[in-house]
């Protein structure tokens, strides 16, 4: 199963990295020209990574909401701790084994 990351966070990371390389390079520009040259190469690689990230297609994903089943005020029901909907046995007899709320989609993986 693929894992998704934030495109903005990844881009921001490489922007900070580019700035870090730039500052280091400027510090040693006069004293260590070889290091300065290597820093420029690294910065170009970072710029390539930023361009790559910007060009990637964005996936249509929704953040996972975590919840747990709670006691319902009805005898033959359970309640979603996230949306508060009562899920009746008539609707889904196996609700205690459900890993997701059928109403809001919350993942039922929080501990008691």
How far apart (Å, rounded) are the C-alpha atoms in residues 108 and 80? 9
Closer Cβ to Zn ion, 46 or 108, answer by number? 108
- For residue 112, list its beta bridge partners: none
CA 88/CA 40 separation, integer angstroms? 64
Smallest separation (angstroms) from Zn ion to the CB of 3:
24
Task: Find the shortest distance in angstroms from Cβ 7 to Zn ion.
Answer: 28
Site residues (CB under 5 A) for Zn ion, limited to 47-106 = 80, 82-83, 101, 103-104, 106
Residue 64, both tokens: 């996972």
Comparing CB distances to Zn ion, the nearer of 32 and 65 is 65
The least distance separating Zn ion from the CB of residue 9, rounded to whole angstroms, comes to 28
Strand partners, 107: 66, 100
Question: Closest CB to Zn ion among 77 and 103?
Answer: 103
Rounded Cα distance between 88 and 75, Å, is 9
* Residue number with CB closer to Zn ion (14 or 69): 69
Contact partners, residue 47, CB within 8 Å, separation at least 6: 18
Residue ranges binding Zn ion (CB under 5 A): 80, 82-83, 101, 103-104, 106
């Amino acid at each position: 199963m693929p894992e998704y990351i934030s495109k903005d966070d990844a881009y921001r990371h490489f922007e900070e990295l580019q700035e870090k390389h730039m500052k280091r390079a400027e510090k040693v520009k006069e004293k260590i020209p070889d290091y300065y040259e290597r820093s420029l190469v690294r910065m170009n690689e970072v710029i390539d990574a930023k361009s790559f990230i910007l060009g990637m297609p964005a996936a249509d994903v929704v953040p996972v909401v975590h919840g747990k089943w709670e006691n319902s005020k009805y005898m033959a029901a359970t309640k979603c701790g996230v949306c508060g909907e009562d899920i009746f046995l008539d609707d889904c007899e196996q609700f205690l084994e459900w890993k997701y709320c059928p109403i809001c989609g919350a993942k039922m993986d929080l501990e008691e």
